[in-house]
Amino acid sequence: MTSSTTEASAPTPAETDPTTVPELVAAATRAGVVWAATSRQDRAAVLDAVADALDAAGGTLVPLAVEDSHLAEGRLRGELQRTTFQLRLFGEVLREGSYLDVRVDHPDAEWPMGAPRPDLRRTMVPLGPVVVFAAGNFPFAFSVAGNDMASALAAGCPVLLKAHPGHLRLSLATAEVVQRALAEAGAPEGLFTLVVGDEAGRAALTDPGVTAGGFTGSTGGGRALFDLAVSRPVPIPFFGELGSVNPVFVTRAAAEARGAEIAKEAIGSFTLGAGQFCTKPGVLVVPNGSPLLEALSSADLPGPAPMLSERMVEGHNRVRHELEGVAGVEVLARGTDAEDGTPAPTILRTDVATLLADVEDLFRECFGPTVLVATYEGSGGNEDLVALAQAIDGQLTASVFGETSDVEGVRELVSVLANRAGRLLWNAWPTGVSVTYAQEHGGPYPATTAPSTTSVGTGAIARWLRPVAYQGFPSGLLPGELRDELDEGADAPRLEDGRLRLSGRER
């Protein structure tokens, strides 16, 4: 791949020739065979080496990220730290081994189903080459070395990473660090490849050698790629995160007890990063006449903050204008937009009845610093909250702010929201997605195209794996973790004859 220099600080990569994609996929396929056969401990060491290299390159990468994204240096340094932590955490997942979901059933002539049980041993194997489409709003954590790349490499899959056009120079620089670290750590050539340009990205997703795709971005773009993935002669899984409104429901008791506090936190959450988080709260459902509503209407909002690109500015301003144009919507509070059109934080107001009457036009993502407040009148029950929860579509998150006295009263609301969102929050804001073991960053469509998976947290490794059962095989032909006599480094927790063993050596 060639590149041209537009600024002294870094080159801008040229677009990948789509006709070269089959060759890139073939190289990834060859690398994948070697990588899948590499021990879990060695794969973990490679992930650690990539993390170390990215940390060491922070002094070069972070200034590039600032230039490309207009995000603050402090935010980006924290994001790089999150990215390298994530790589190391997946290394720990590999060493521990429970992600393999090992199951061993020894032969049982007295198996109660009426026929003898054969020797069956089940584990997980990598899917093969995957294409990851980087996101624009997190130049490190959801981009070249981000969530999908880290989990796919950990799973044993080679990665073709389609760069986001919003930070191409950073993407090239990051990819060079990753590729150099992989080579120095002994990883096979072709394990990680940067692809630039929409045509090349589509060519990769439809190449017969590619086995899965990952995406974080807009609903329109994600749906188009999803349709490509499933309309191939051999359809492949496509794990897309598309968009979310992330509603927040506030009980009357909470609004009365903590109205000013909740209002301050709400403003901090929906303006964080200029509102360019996939988990930004887009709709606040609050009781009419409460101190919370008063605090929002009189709030001292921050000024306009630079957005990622002019395209983001235009998209936000268009949706904000459309929301304002719906009958029954008014401006509750707003700052002054910058002269160049950069939007100031805006709080719009309607009521739940209006929202329910026009869910399609009002309950929608406005990517940027705008939030819609919907008021309800109920003094005791939460019927309006439940009705709205039942009317909305799939979300990444849904939050409930309440008091201890509300627990029984919101039980139905929480039950409904559990069918609508991947992560539920109690007295907490959805912005900020911790990389940990129990994290769920997903949800029913249109939040994602694969609601049974997560893109953040250690559970993300399952996206890139599939189960294989071996029946009656001699030990020498079994994967190491399935053998009764385990090789060094092959041990993993297992379900053995229906009993969980934390180690396969516990016999």
CATH number for position 72: 3.40.605.10
CA distance 29 to 25: 6
User: Annotated catalytic residue: which of 67, 199, 265, 278?
Assistant: 278
Same structural domain for residues 228 and 306?
Answer: no
CATH number for position 256: 3.40.309.10
Same structural domain for residues 257 and 371?
Answer: yes
Same structural domain for residues 215 and 294?
Answer: no
Dihedrals phi, psi of 404, to nearest 5 degrees = -55, -35
Instruction: Tell me the HSE value of 358 on the side-chain side, using a 13 A CA sphere.
Output: 13
Listed as own residue / partner, the contacts of 467-472 with beta carbons closer than 8 Å and 24 or more positions apart are 467/101, 467/122, 467/123, 467/124, 467/125, 468/122, 468/123, 468/124, 468/125, 469/120, 469/121, 469/122, 470/120, 470/121, 470/122, 471/118, 471/119, 471/120, 471/121, 472/118, 472/119
73 has catalytic annotation: no
Examine residue 17 and state whether it is found in any structural domain, yes or no.
no
Same structural domain for residues 283 and 217?
Answer: no
Same structural domain for residues 271 and 382?
Answer: yes
How many C-beta neighbours within 10 Å does residue 128 have?
A: 21
Examine residue 226 and state whether it is found in any structural domain, yes or no.
yes
Listed as own residue / partner, the contacts of 12-15 with beta carbons closer than 8 Å and 24 or more positions apart are 12/168, 12/169, 12/172, 13/163, 13/168, 13/169, 13/171, 13/172, 13/194, 13/196, 14/196, 15/196, 15/197, 15/199, 15/200
Examine residue 302 and state whether it is found in any structural domain, yes or no.
yes
Examine residue 106 and state whether it is found in any structural domain, yes or no.
yes
- Which residue segment(s) compose the domain that 173 sits in? 24-242+453-464
Which are the contacts of 395, defined by CB distance < 8 A and separation ≥ 6? 244, 245, 246, 247, 420, 421, 422, 443, 444, 447
Examine residue 52 and state whether it is found in any structural domain, yes or no.
yes
User: Annotated catalytic residue: which of 79, 241, 365, 440?
Assistant: 241
Dihedrals phi, psi of 375, to nearest 5 degrees = -95, 150
Examine residue 472 and state whether it is found in any structural domain, yes or no.
no
How many domains is the chain built from?
2
Same structural domain for residues 316 and 170?
Answer: no
Examine residue 457 and state whether it is found in any structural domain, yes or no.
yes
366 has catalytic annotation: no
Same structural domain for residues 193 and 293?
Answer: no
Same structural domain for residues 272 and 293?
Answer: yes
DSSP 13: E
Locate 269 and state its tokens: 């959450």
Examine residue 445 and state whether it is found in any structural domain, yes or no.
no
3-state class (DSSP) for residue 161: strand
CA distance 151 to 154: 5
Same structural domain for residues 278 and 225?
Answer: no
Give pLDDT tens digits along the chain (507 positions).
333 333 445 677 899 999 999 999 999 999 999 999 999 999 999 999 999 999 999 999 999 999 999 999 999 999 999 999 999 999 999 999 999 999 999 999 999 999 999 999 999 999 999 999 999 999 999 999 999 999 999 999 999 999 999 999 999 999 999 999 999 999 999 999 999 999 999 999 999 999 999 999 999 999 999 999 999 999 999 999 999 999 999 999 999 999 999 999 999 999 999 999 999 999 999 999 999 999 999 999 999 999 999 999 999 999 999 999 999 999 999 999 999 999 999 999 999 999 999 999 999 999 999 999 999 997 656 899 999 999 999 999 999 999 999 999 999 999 999 999 999 999 999 998 999 999 999 999 999 999 999 999 999 999 999 999 999 999 999 999 999 988 778 999 999 999 999 876 655
